[in-house]
Chains A and B, each alone.
Chain A
Amino acid sequence: MATEFDRHGDTHLLYGSRLRDEFPDFQFEIEEDGEVVAHGRSLPVRWDGTVDDLPRGIDGAFERAFEEGGANVLCAVGIGVPEALRGRQYSGRALERMLQVAREHGFPRLIAPVKPTLKYRYPITPVERYALWRRKDGLPFDPWVRTHARFGAQILKAERQSVRVSGTVAEWEEWTGMAFPESGEYVIPGGLATLAIDRERDAGRYAEPNVWMVHDV
């Protein structure tokens, strides 16, 4: 589920437009009968293989890809399926393609800051706990985390501050269609965590939590 505020990530605004120009080999669309049914965005980054050295979520992955050399793994930064085509396994196919892209470029691993699909229903649950939830069959509770797990991925760690989004109070009111009359923590539609409103500073701060997962390619 993409929300309006998803388009306003601080780091994404900085680097998003450079993805296609500088890393065209790692962006793809999957088409079916001339229609785009999924897209994938990924970036090669340097990573020493330890949990401590993971980038700070998607923001950190963008920074590392554009500002540092020595890339040795592929990092997923987005897999999207048009709203009308959800629930038809296209996201799984896009993930499969991304693994193939990694393989073709000789990367031994794909790391993914996974945006958990159902986290928006649990905005006040710490992502560290949410990431541990499992179903009775032992697979992860979250559908998108589960898809990754089915492809063999392991959970590395929960990342609270994967995508930072800042705006004025008026911007946040426009993005969410809500009023924020006072400073404080708010639940927002589609938000994976709460929004912190500071009326004195005229600022709203939100950080999207993700779950770092790793695939052996």
Chain B
Amino acid sequence: MAPAWEATSDAMPEYNNHGDVLNQYWGRLTEERAEFQFHLVDDDEILARARCVPVRWDGTREDLPAGIDGAIERAFEDEGANVLCALLISVPRAQRGRARSGQALQAMLDIARVHDLETLIAPVRPSWKERYPLVPIERYARWRRADGFLLDPWMRVHERAGGKVLEPEPHSLRITATVAEWEEWTEMPFPDSGEYVFPGGLATLDVDREKDAGRYWEPNVWMLHQV
């Protein structure tokens, strides 16, 4: 069986694997919080890969972690974890459109229940935000379809599972790298300093050629499930 990260390596754009803060802690999830990491499998096939971690949260908006970066930092640096925080549900391309992400979300809620955590919070990565990279997340998070459900498919899966929108977070995941790294990840040249949209980007990339730096903040939407 191929390693799980390999099976789901096509699920996220390459740039998403290079979080400044996220990558400092990511490897510790399977070593120090193993009971919260899981895969959905069918025989030998990986249907979904999931990461979550308990964190302390007092239940107020003000106390929400600063996005996914803040959540993973809090999980390893703060005591008193009392809620479960979703970090990733990743479905291989070949498995899309089969409700796998919803199944993985249910499994995550089960894990919270088993560990007597009454709340699951999720910094949701809205799947269609990449089509609207110029729209502020605060506005995007409110968009609904004619049937009243949320416009974004992944937010809608959360909503259908009982999740409520808590708060949009424009600065959830920070990714900083050299221009050459960004060019490699996105497979496009950035000849000038300035703002760029790029494939799979949920917001724009800010390129500064003088400082040889590309800065990106991935927006997420905090959602809340009562377990």
Contact = CB atoms under 8 A, between A and B. Distances in A.
Where chain A touches its partner, the secondary structure class is loop
A129 B133 CA distance: 21
A125 B192 contact: yes
Contacts of B143: 179, 181-182
Interface stretch (B1-9, B46-54, B193-201, B211-219): B193-201
A85 interface: no
A36 interface: no
Interface in B170-191: 188-189, 191
Given A141-B189, A181-B143, A181-B151, A186 B135 contact: yes
A129 B192 contact: yes
A187 B196 contact: no
Nearest to B145: A179
Contact of A187 (B132, B144, B189): B132
B195 A124 contact: yes
Interface extent on B, as a size class? 10 to 19
Interface string A169-192: 000000000110110111100000
B189 A124 contact: no
Contacts of A122: 196-197
B61 interface: no
A204 interface: no
Contacts of A129: 192, 194
A15 interface: no
Contacts of A178: 131
Given A123-B197, A124-B197, A179-B151, A184 B192 contact: no
Interface in A51-85: none
Across chains A and B, which 4 residue pairs bring their CB atoms closest together, nearest first? A133-B191, A181-B143, A185-B134, A187-B197
Given A123-B197, A179-B143, 9 more contacts: A122-B196, A122-B197, A124-B204, A125-B192, A133-B192, A181-B151, A186-B135, A187-B132, A194-B134
